[in-house]
Amino acid sequence: MDPARAVAVFGGTFNPVHYGHLRSAIELVEHLQLHHLDLMPCAQPVHREQPGCSAEHRAAMVELAVAGEPRLGCDRRELARGGLSYSYDSLVDIRQDIGPQRGLCLVMGCDALQNIASWHRWRELLDIAHVIVIARPGWTLPDEGVVAHWLQSHRCDAPAQLHRQASGLVHVEELRPLAISSTEIRSLLQLGQSVRYLLPEPVLDYIDQHGLYRQKESSA
Ligand code: ATP
């Protein structure tokens, strides 16, 4: 590992992973010159219902989606830990793995940012990592309230700084907008419609092989 370059982790439910996630991930690696970025499926989301599709299936789909792209990976630590998946706990764990000096970035979309003040130990996230916010179609940054203030106080517009310090900055990155969501993919599948070209073909094959999403609230 080149110790000068920051690494990133992109948490989510990935139910299922799609090109909105994947294109954002690779563009972030390139725009910010990250060493690598791992998608990190949660075991049990904190702020939403348990997905009908198991964590094991969701992680398997992420692994298929990133296979062949060495700068992207799948981090399974939240599955291994089990229980509610707090990003704070995962970042503490990752920080232990990579040491105290290296830039570590937690990636999230604007929709996730809107709720960040309800996250477990949210103010301490910046003690361990930077936060990268992806501008997402249909969402804007908060312009008042506690999150807006937090954003303004830590905002960094010079991405090179993400590599020079280990944690403490919030950076907003404008990426190619792709209005794709897992919710829409699940709805299309339940309606028996095609989701081809919204997600990678091996993920689609996996969904077909395992009969995921086609029945209402699959028990998979
Ligand atoms: P759902 O529709 O079930 O809420 P989702 O498509 O938003 O799912 P998640 O797994 O919940 O996917 O999202 C993980 C992270 O990816 C979140 O931070 C979310 O903001 C971001 N994200 C999801 N879709 C996109 C997209 N099309 N472009 C950029 N970021 C995205």
| Distance between Cα 35 and ligand 1 center (Å) | 22
State the pairing for strand pair 72-74/7-12.
Answer: unpaired
DSSP 177-200: -----HHHHHHHHHTT---BTTB-
Cα(181)–Cα(83) distance, integer angstroms? 25
pLDDT at 215: 73
Residues 101-149 have pLDDT tens digits of 999 999 999 989 999 999 999 999 999 999 999 987 788 899 999 999 9
CA 200 to chain centroid, in Å, comes to: 17
pLDDT at 131: 98
Tell whether ligand 1 has an atom less than 6 A from the beta carbon of residue 180.
yes
Tell whether ligand 1 has an atom less than 6 A from the beta carbon of residue 163.
no
* Short-list 130, 178, 186, CA closest to 14: 186
Tell whether ligand 1 has an atom less than 6 A from the beta carbon of residue 24.
yes
Angle at 186 between CA 218 and CA 117, to 5 degrees: 100
Q: Which of 38, 108, 136 to mutate to test the pocket of ligand 1 (most atoms within 8 A of CB)?
A: 136
Long-range pairs for 204-208 at CB < 8 Å and ≥24 separation?
A: 206/57, 206/60, 206/61, 206/64, 207/16, 207/61
* Residue 218 vs residue 178, higher pLDDT: 178
**Residue 173: what are its φ and ψ, rounded to 5°?**
-120, 125
Tell whether ligand 1 has an atom less than 6 A from the beta carbon of residue 85.
no
pLDDT at 49: 79
Closest-lying ligand 1 atom to the alpha carbon of residue 14: 10
CATH fold group of domain 7-210: Rossmann fold (3.40.50)
**Residue 190: what are its φ and ψ, rounded to 5°?**
-65, -30
pLDDT at 2: 61
pLDDT at 217: 52
- At 1, the pLDDT band (50, 70, 90 cuts) reads low
Instruction: List the chain domain ranges.
Output: 7-210
| Distance between Cα 160 and ligand 1 center (Å) | 26
Whether residue 219 has pLDDT greater than 70: no
Residues 50-60 have pLDDT tens digits of 888 999 999 99
Whether residue 192 has pLDDT greater than 90: yes
Whether residue 3 has pLDDT greater than 70: no
